[in-house]
Chains A and B, each alone.
Chain A
Amino acid sequence: MSLSMTLWVLNLAQAALMVLAAPLLAGIIQKCKARLQNRRGAPILQPYRNLLKLFGKEALLAENASWIFRTTPYVLFTTTALAASVVPVFLVDLPSALIADVIAMAALLALARFWLALAGMDIGTAFGGMGASREMTFSAMAEPAMLMSMFVMSLGAHSTNLSTMVQHALHLDHLLPSVAFALAALLMVAIAENGRIPIDNPSTHLELTMIHEAMILEYSGRHLALIEWASQIKLLLFATLIISLFVPWGIAESPAIQPVLAALVFWFGKVVLLAVALAVLETGLAKIRLFQVPEYLSTAFVLAFLGMLVHYILEVGA
């Protein structure tokens, strides 16, 4: 096999890994949370079983559901999986990085969100519309913060290509304050974007507070399975993005067997650590009030912007 062929195969394997391992991450987080609450908890593989069960069930549609409602789960799953295939997981130099850079990745996630919001409003129930409007309000603040923290990293790397950015992060030998700012901002955004606890509670259907769940309330069967799977992929995507950009040590730089295997082990370990951290955070924190979410997100934006300023003030001239 030629080199580019190997790279493509590895890239596809990486994308498949992201899609297939996503429910596992959800399972690990659930298990950790259960243990922290002194419960035994469902087995780690439970999310796979849930998905399997949902795929086997009949998908019910509301009477006035249009084609938007029916296509949204597929659009959601495809765009999220596509976005996940761009992020370097265990190999730096990916051919797919040329297809989509950071901005395109954020756009893919935004496209998924746009469709989900449309589907939320499509049925015409109060909850769907409420969830959609909340989601769009918050995403209007989360997205700039996410892009800004990405830009801090790409300013140093002189590129918005994710592979180049990870490579640059891998060879950083200075202590850069701007990177710490970007990391803090991205962590905050990741929690908000995935609807985790201080912002939204993924395991509740309390009408006053839910955001994400409100939009998908009408879905069932294979549609619901695809949507849940997509949100699990999104969580893994953010985890991998944070790992690859900020703690990339151990990621393989050449497509040889040994470094790739080692990188896989490193990646898995880091994802598990992040999952445990998230579980501890979710157990320790209470959900903040909905009206405080804009402030939370603007804090993330301010942190990211400070990262950019600090980059220019302290690191460019030095």
Chain B
Amino acid sequence: MDDVMLQEAISVAASLMLLISFALLAQHRLLSVLHWFAAQGVVLALTTLLVAVISGHYELYFSALMTLLLKGALLPWLLWRIIRKMHVHREVEPLVNMPVTMLIALTLVLICFYVALPIERMSQLVTHNTLAIAMATVFLGMLMMITRKKAITQVIGFLSIENALFFTAVGATHGMPMIVELGVAFDVLIAAIIFGLFFTHMRNTFDSLDLDVIQEKSKR
């Protein structure tokens, strides 16, 4: 593959990341949120693979494989098991209605584009124009955490922020050092397991995973 084609492939992957971030925000059902989250992991692995081909850093091949296994399969599976075991209500409960969330999300992307523009101009990397999108995906993950009622969707929002940060790192600097990456990967894995335990305790104590309910009950 020549450089132009790789560049185009990176662009496509970046726009897919953006699309998936919006899709995560737009879903009504918890399971489809999970599907899109898994898709985000797969696209992330693909992007890492592309950057590995472009830059020729061999560690990146390894981290692409790790991303695919961890974020494309293991984490979604863990979350799916939690949802099934806890009999969480299947609907996503947003605090703000969908079209308004979408408009906020679009504004966030615009702001990120504006902020990232001068940095992008200085960069010499092949992936320089993905920076705005990477930033936007981080903010969209935060938006998802803020606007959801249920603990489990907030956790998915958190994990998608982690995905977005990984994407930023891969796009902006051709990946973090291997040690850091391994550390973060295991952190995330452990975090997911701790979240699972946490959910169990929350449900045992409060009988619900809805944060409003929990706040209500802890006041008494």
Q: Are A294 and B14 in contact (CB under 8 A)?
A: no
Question: Would you give the 0/1 interface string for A301-318, flagging 1 where the beta carbon is closer than 8 Å to chain B?
Answer: 010011001101111011
Q: Which residues of the partner chain B approach A229 to less than 8 Å between Cβ atoms?
A: none
Please tell me if B109 contacts chain A, counting CB pairs below 8 Å.
yes
Question: Would you give the 0/1 interface string for B1-29, flagging 1 where the beta carbon is closer than 8 Å to chain A?
Answer: 00010011101101110110010001000
A298 and B133 contact, Cβ closer than 8 Å, known pairs A177-B12, A306-B18, A310-B15 = no
Interface residue total, chain A, C-beta cutoff 8 A: 22
Q: Are A295 and B99 in contact (CB under 8 A)?
A: yes
Q: How far is the CA of A162 from the CA of B15 in the complex (A)?
A: 26
Near B by CB (< 8 A), chain A positions 261-318 give 294-295, 298-299, 302, 305-306, 309-310, 312-315, 317-318
Q: Which residues of the partner chain A approach B102 to less than 8 Å between Cβ atoms?
A: 298-299, 302
Q: Say which residue of B99, B128, B130 sits within 8 Å of A298 (CB atoms).
A: B99
Q: How far is the CA of A176 from the CA of B9 in the complex (A)?
A: 10
Q: Say which residue of A298, A302, A309 sits within 8 Å of B110 (CB atoms).
A: A309
Question: Would you list the 3 A-B pairs with minimal beta carbon distance, nearest first?
Answer: A177-B15, A298-B99, A314-B11
List, sorted by A's number, 28 A–B pairs whose CB atoms are closer than 8 Å: A175-B8, A175-B11, A175-B12, A177-B11, A177-B15, A177-B16, A180-B15, A181-B19, A298-B98, A298-B99, A298-B102, A299-B26, A302-B26, A305-B106, A306-B19, A306-B106, A306-B109, A309-B18, A309-B109, A310-B15, A310-B133, A313-B133, A314-B11, A314-B14, A315-B11, A317-B128, A318-B7, A318-B11
A310 and B106 contact, Cβ closer than 8 Å, known pairs A294-B99, A299-B26 = no
Q: Are B22 and A314 in contact (CB under 8 A)?
A: no
Q: Are A314 and B106 in contact (CB under 8 A)?
A: no
| CB of B74 to closest CB in A, whole Å | 29
| Nearest B residue to A307, CB-CB | B15
Q: Are B99 and A314 in contact (CB under 8 A)?
A: no
| CB of A209 to closest CB in B, whole Å | 21
Q: Are B110 and A317 in contact (CB under 8 A)?
A: no
| CB of B129 to closest CB in A, whole Å | 5
Question: Would you give the 0/1 interface string for B104-144, flagging 1 where the beta carbon is closer than 8 Å to chain A?
Answer: 01100110010000001100000011101100000000000
Q: Are A302 and B22 in contact (CB under 8 A)?
A: yes
Question: Would you give the 0/1 interface string for B187-217, flagging 1 where the beta carbon is closer than 8 Å to chain A?
Answer: 0000000000000000000000000000000
Q: How far is the CA of A306 from the CA of B22 in the complex (A)?
A: 9
Q: Which residues of the partner chain B approach A315 to less than 8 Å between Cβ atoms?
A: 11
Q: Which residues of the partner chain B approach A181 to less than 8 Å between Cβ atoms?
A: 15, 19
Near A by CB (< 8 A), chain B positions 25-45 give 26
Q: How far is the CA of A175 from the CA of B22 in the complex (A)?
A: 22
Q: Are B130 and A314 in contact (CB under 8 A)?
A: yes
In terms of DSSP, what is the predominant structure of the interface of chain A? helix
Q: Which residues of the partner chain B approach A39 to less than 8 Å between Cβ atoms?
A: none
Q: Are A314 and B15 in contact (CB under 8 A)?
A: yes
Q: How far is the CA of A178 from the CA of B11 in the complex (A)?
A: 10
Q: How far is the CA of A185 from the CA of B65 in the complex (A)?
A: 33
| CB of A287 to closest CB in B, whole Å | 17
Please tell me if A171 contacts chain B, counting CB pairs below 8 Å.
no
| CB of B206 to closest CB in A, whole Å | 31
Q: How far is the CA of A132 from the CA of B102 in the complex (A)?
A: 27
Q: Are B26 and A317 in contact (CB under 8 A)?
A: no
Near B by CB (< 8 A), chain A positions 157-179 give 174-178
| Nearest A residue to B116, CB-CB | A313
Q: Which residues of the partner chain B approach A309 to less than 8 Å between Cβ atoms?
A: 18, 106, 109-110, 113
Q: How far is the CA of A312 from the CA of B11 in the complex (A)?
A: 12
Q: Which residues of the partner chain B approach A294 to less than 8 Å between Cβ atoms?
A: 99
Q: Are A313 and B113 in contact (CB under 8 A)?
A: yes
Near A by CB (< 8 A), chain B positions 56-95 give none
Q: How far is the CA of A161 from the CA of B8 in the complex (A)?
A: 27
Q: How far is the CA of A121 from the CA of B213 in the complex (A)?
A: 48
A314 and B98 contact, Cβ closer than 8 Å, known pairs A177-B15, A309-B110 = no
Q: Are A313 and B12 in contact (CB under 8 A)?
A: no
Q: Which residues of the partner chain B approach A318 to less than 8 Å between Cβ atoms?
A: 7, 11, 129
Q: How far is the CA of A306 from the CA of B23 in the complex (A)?
A: 12
| Nearest A residue to B132, CB-CB | A313
A317 and B98 contact, Cβ closer than 8 Å, known pairs A306-B19, A309-B109, A309-B113 = no
Q: Are A314 and B110 in contact (CB under 8 A)?
A: no
Q: Say which residue of A174, A302, A317 sits within 8 Å of B106 (CB atoms).
A: A302
Q: How far is the CA of A317 from the CA of B129 in the complex (A)?
A: 7
| Nearest B residue to A301, CB-CB | B102
Q: Which residues of the partner chain B approach A176 to less than 8 Å between Cβ atoms?
A: 11
Q: How far is the CA of A305 from the CA of B15 in the complex (A)?
A: 12
Q: Which residues of the partner chain B approach A313 to less than 8 Å between Cβ atoms?
A: 113, 129, 132-133
